Chain A
Amino acid sequence: GAVVSQHPSWVICKSGTSVKIECRSLDFQATTMFWYRQFPKQSLMLMATSNEGSKATYEQGVEKDKFLINHASLTLSTLTVTSAHPEDSSFYICSARVALAGVPHEQYFGPGTRLTVT
């Protein structure tokens, strides 16, 4: 089956620093990747949609200058949280679209990255 990895699985950083999270599709090419944020005991909220080779499309209320997304290849998308603050502490999950004919459940999720900003 399609496998999506994320690195790191958890990270602790100091306020004001930047953190990069990687999302990789291991055995397929993903033309589209999605980035979600999940606060404790809450649902997943879409942050942005990332298409390979083009600029990401951000959801309303998500600061594009703070959450930099780069989808440089068909197997890798990165999310960089710049000048992180404690309120950015959250669980970040990526998903990748599998372009397989006849497969309706095209999005496969990574295992998530837990970010804690101190």
Chain B
Amino acid sequence: AQKITQTQPGMFVQEKEAVTLDCTYDTSDPSYGLFWYKQPSSGEMIFLIYQGSYDQQNATEGRYSLNFQKARKSANLVISASQLGDSAMYFCAMREGNNAGNMLTFGGGTRLMVKP
């Protein structure tokens, strides 16, 4: 079974509008971390936001927020006030367990295209 699922292969959003990128995960480990990365066409992986399984509040980082619904095992990324520079691939990832040396498992990604 897929551990990380991103059901939207591609998304369009109008500049200055908000957009939600979906991510669902599957784990039996009570301790885990969820990550979102942005990958522009240059290929580098840019860390955006992190949510720990025990965190009580949804994570926020500037225009990025994570809608964490633990019971539904979803960790959607919300980008507010989209900008043209937000056009990129976005990957959701999960690390199971507490060990920082544990591997990340990535979802299939969502390509976001921001329209002017």
Q: Chain A: residues with CB nearer than 8 A to chain B?
A: 31-32, 34, 42-46, 49, 51, 91, 93, 95, 97, 99, 104-112, 114
Most A Cβ at <10 Å: residue of B47, B52, B108: B47
Give bound CA distance, A111 to B39, whole Å. 10
Q: Are B108 and A91 in contact, with the CB atoms below 8 A?
A: no
Chain B 91-116 residues near chain A, CB threshold 8 A: 91, 100-101, 103-109
B44 proximal to A (CB < 8 A) = yes
The reply on B25 being an interface residue by CB < 8 A is no
- Chain A, interface SS category: strand
CA distance A91 to B107 in the complex (A): 17
Chain B residues in 8 Å Cβ range of A93: 43, 45
- The 9 tightest CB contacts between A and B, nearest first, are A109-B45, A112-B43, A106-B100, A32-B101, A111-B44, A43-B106, A105-B50, A44-B106, A43-B108
B35: interface (CB < 8 Å)? yes
Q: Is the CB of A111 within 8 A of B43?
A: yes
- A106–B50 Cα distance when bound, in Å, is 10
Residue of A nearest to B4 (CB): A43
Interface, chain B (partner A; CB < 8 A): 33, 35, 37, 42-45, 47, 50, 52, 91, 100-101, 103-109
Complex alpha-carbon distance, A110 and B44, angstroms? 7
* A41 CA / B104 CA spacing, docked (Å): 19
In the bound complex, how far is the Cα of B47 from the Cα of A49, in angstroms?
A: 20
Most chain B CB atoms below 10 A, which of A44, A45, A46, A91: A44
9 A-B Cβ contacts within 8 A?
A32-B101, A44-B45, A46-B104, A97-B100, A97-B101, A104-B52, A105-B47, A107-B47, A108-B47
In this complex, the member of B43, B104, B105 whose beta carbon has the largest number of chain A beta carbons within 10 angstroms is B43
Complex CA gap A51/B59 in Å reads 30
Least CB separation from A110: chain B residue: B44
Q: What distance in Å separates the Cβ of B2 from its nearest Cβ neighbour in chain A?
A: 11
Q: How far is the CA of A44 from the CA of B43 in the complex (A)?
A: 11
> CA A107 – CA B108 in complex, angstroms?
19
Nearest to B52 among chain A residues (CB) is: A104
Shortest beta-carbon distance from A77 to chain B in Å: 14
